[in-house]
Amino acid sequence: MGFITQHAVLVVSIVKVAVLLLAALTVNAYLTWFERKLVGHIQSRIGPYFVGAHGLLQPAADGLKFLFKEDLTIPTSDRFVFCLAPLLSLTLALTTLALIPFGPATITIFGQPTELVVANTTLGLLMVFAISSIGVYGVALAGWSSNSKYSLLGSLRSSAQMISYEVSLTLSIVGVVLLAGTFDFRTLVEGQGGYWWHFLPRWRVFPQIVGFMCYFISAIAETNRAPFDLPEAESELVAGFHTEYSSFKFAMFFVAEYTNMITVSCLATILFLGGWLSPFPERWTWQLYIPAVGLLLTGVALLADAAFKWNGIARLQLVAVSLLALGLGVLALSPTVMLVIQGVFWFLLKVFLLIFFYAWARGTLPRFRYDQLMSFGWKLLLPVALANVVLTAFLIEWWNR
């Protein structure tokens, strides 16, 4: 234990990183499941169903498949870059995640008070953008190195798209930054506490609704998601920049994509949706029970499901899951944990909603054509975002007078 107490900072950071990574990867996996389910239901299918109850084991199966598939690398490709590209995208994606605070509370690990964020910096926002702006390389290099025209075209498209939309993405949050006057996530969130007219939370989405829309649209484009998923437009260029990638390298791109999705959603939450703040006033103490109750209800529902609809392995599975849920629920009832969880709960809830929105969009909207995409980005989104910035600046100045 001596060592730990000595280098507490280091150890704590390592632990946090480990936890975050684990969480991120798992969540990613289950995001795919969730998305497939959702899209399936939107398209009046049921989606994954047979691998485990409700296809709950589908992600695991996919993971295994990725691991055990043969790792092809084309002889004519540029080996080094070919391997570098996926690494780059994944690393950068996860790194940005490290800057996101998930809650206000300070918990104590090994007698070391720490916050719910891996890297705490006052310029968090800037850093996130800085890092995410490098993410382009993953795509670009992947396409170039795999020495195939589909890949090259795909990567050119996607990197062009990412760059174009990065501009409006950055511009759209300037309004918020102007309002808050800081790059620090914590301050950004706390600035959104309180109410307008005693009922409307001071979330910046309301004054910055235009900014929010711009942000969300360009975020979708930035992460190459439908309806802006031209880079992997199957109908046109097989699978875009990662056409030539297989097994684990492909998985990296895959994970990176979902991680980016989470990141931008987190950013949206923090910037516009009041981060971990609950929508309800402080004095409604009953709201503290919402997470616990939610978990318990889920557990009960699952138990009922297991009891009546399933049998065999699937049933055991469901039972296990429901027990997990119940256990968590009970844990969440304990006062200390309850307090800690609050922020995280609200935060994750909002993020989840946004991601739901993502999936929803994918399920409903048709894909853009490339020129449409570009003209939309440069001729509509960018000017609007700019106008928003200017207007906001003027209003703020006017207010201060």
Partner 1 sequence: MSVPVFMFFACAALAVLGAVLLIVVREPIHSALALILVMAALAVLYLLLGAEFIAAVQLMVYAGAIMVLFVFVIMLLNAGVEERTNKSLMAKYLGLPLAGFLVLDLAWWIAKSTAGKAELTASAVPAQASSTIELSRMLFKQYLFPFEATSILILIAMLGAVVLARRDS
Binding-site ranges for partner 1 (CB under 8 A): 78, 80-81, 84, 121-123, 126-127, 129-131, 133-134, 136-137, 140-141, 143-144, 152, 155-156, 159-160, 163, 166, 182-184
Nearer to partner 1, 159 or 322 (CB): 159
Distance between CA 319 and CA 332 in Å, rounded? 19
> CA-based Rg of the chain, rounded to a whole angstrom?
22
- The SS3 assignment for 294 reads helix
CB of 277 to partner 1, least distance (A): 22
CB of 139 to partner 1, least distance (A): 10
Residue type, 106: T
Q: Give the helix/strand (H/E) hosting 60.
A: helix 58-68
Q: Of the candidates 275, 250, 302, 313, which has an alpha carbon nearest to the alpha carbon of residue 100? A: 275
- The SS3 assignment for 233 reads coil
Distance between CA 90 and CA 285 in Å, rounded? 41
Nearer to partner 1, 13 or 298 (CB): 13
Nearer to partner 1, 152 or 306 (CB): 152
311 DSSP 8-state letter: -
CB of 36 to partner 1, least distance (A): 33
Nearer to partner 1, 140 or 261 (CB): 140
Buried-state track 152-177, b at ≥16 Cβ within 10 A, e below 16:
bbbbbbbbbbbebbbbbbbbbbbbbb
Query: Token pair for residue 274?
Result: 């009041």
Q: Which residues contact 289 (CB under 8 A, 6 or more apart)?
A: 333, 338
Angle ∠(336,266,45) on CA atoms, nearest 5:
100
Nearer to partner 1, 281 or 383 (CB): 383
- The SS3 assignment for 108 reads strand
CB of 85 to partner 1, least distance (A): 10
Nearer to partner 1, 82 or 345 (CB): 82
CB of 169 to partner 1, least distance (A): 12
Query: Token pair for residue 334?
Result: 């304990």
Nearer to partner 1, 129 or 352 (CB): 129
CB of 126 to partner 1, least distance (A): 4
- Under 8 Å between Cβ of 156 and 143: yes
Nearer to partner 1, 99 or 252 (CB): 99
CB of 122 to partner 1, least distance (A): 5
CB of 381 to partner 1, least distance (A): 18
